Amino acid sequence: MAERNGHNKPVTVETPREFLQAKAHWNKKDFDSAIYAQGYEVFKEMALHCACRNSANGAPLSDCKNCGGTGWIFIEKTSTRAVIQAINRQSKFVQKWTEMDSGTISVSLRNDDKVAFMDRITIMDQVSTFSQTVYLKRKTGSLWFARLFYTPKSIKKVYLFNGSNEPLVKIAPDKCYFQDNYFYLNMELSIESPSVSLRYEHHPQYHVIDITREQIANRGGLENNCDPNSPVDDQLAQFPVHAIARKADRTLDPADINGDSVYDNT
Ligand SMILES: [Zn+2]
């Protein structure tokens, strides 16, 4: 009896589609969630110009213990997440890898994590290896120390310089240790100004050198904000910021790590 109810007859009139302009909806929460889901755990520190800078030319004092002679201090370490990618230079600027690409990454952060030039980003989920020469200073008796560029996770190799005509002296791991970014060597040394080759593991650390997308806002189309009477600012969705960052030891003004010490202003 289905035919008598008419359900199988062809449809002659359909419900008209909605006569509204099609509109893309951008949801800030979706972008923030993507960064949280895909991002690395990072520490972000705010960079500040050190007040030791000369008022005439902006040059920092080379013996300033606040900034280590770099002109920058880093404050307010915050824990957040960031999407880190290698830069795809082929799509825009140059065709080949150049020296300028060395140690350079692209970073996307939530808009709440605003960044500025020279801000420092440390990736806590990753480990890098770094090699540096340190110039030891005597702390007490046979205990020597030196400041490291990065804070090590573990020290892999230690070799003492013993004159240009002598082979390097391999140092046993039980003779040295580290604390924060200080290296200590507990050993009687008769060398006047001892220096040591070090290779150690650390969390990779970068400085922001360019901000390619600082502000992108989308008006309207936000979830939970359909009130036409709400202030305009409330309807602007702030999208993630995007920056280019470079390994701290390859940034233009690497810290002077051979000074005696640096005050901790964090
Ligand atoms: Zn300074």
Can you tell me the distance from the alpha carbon of 73 to that of 47, in angstroms, rounded to the nearest whole number?
6
User: How far is 116 from 49, CA to CA, in rounded Å?
Assistant: 12
Q: 3-state class of 142 per DSSP?
A: coil
CA of 100 to the centre of ligand 1 (A): 27
Q: Do the bridges between strand 120-123 and strand 152-160 make them parallel or antiparallel, or are there none, so unpaired?
A: unpaired
Helix, strand, coil percentages in the chain from 3-state DSSP, rounded to 5: 10, 40, 50
Q: From ligand 1's centre to the CA of 137, what distance in Å?
A: 22
Cα 62 to ligand 1 centre (Å): 8
Indicate the pTM of the whole model: 0.73
pLDDT value of residue 112? 81
Interval between CA 109 and ligand 1 midpoint (Å) = 28
Which pLDDT score, from 0 to 100, does residue 200 have?
94
> How far is it, in rounded angstroms, from Cα 217 to Cα 63?
44
Reading the block at residue 180, the tokens are: 């924060």
What is residue 132's three-state secondary structure? strand
* Mean pLDDT, each 10-residue run in order, the chain (266 residues): 65 75 66 82 92 89 84 91 75 58 84 87 91 90 90 93 90 90 89 90 92 64 50 58 88 56 63
CA dihedral 136, 205, 119, 28 (to 10 degrees): -160
Rounded to the nearest whole angstrom, what is the distance from the C-alpha of residue 74 to the centroid of ligand 1? 11
Tokens (6 digits) for 81: 């997440």
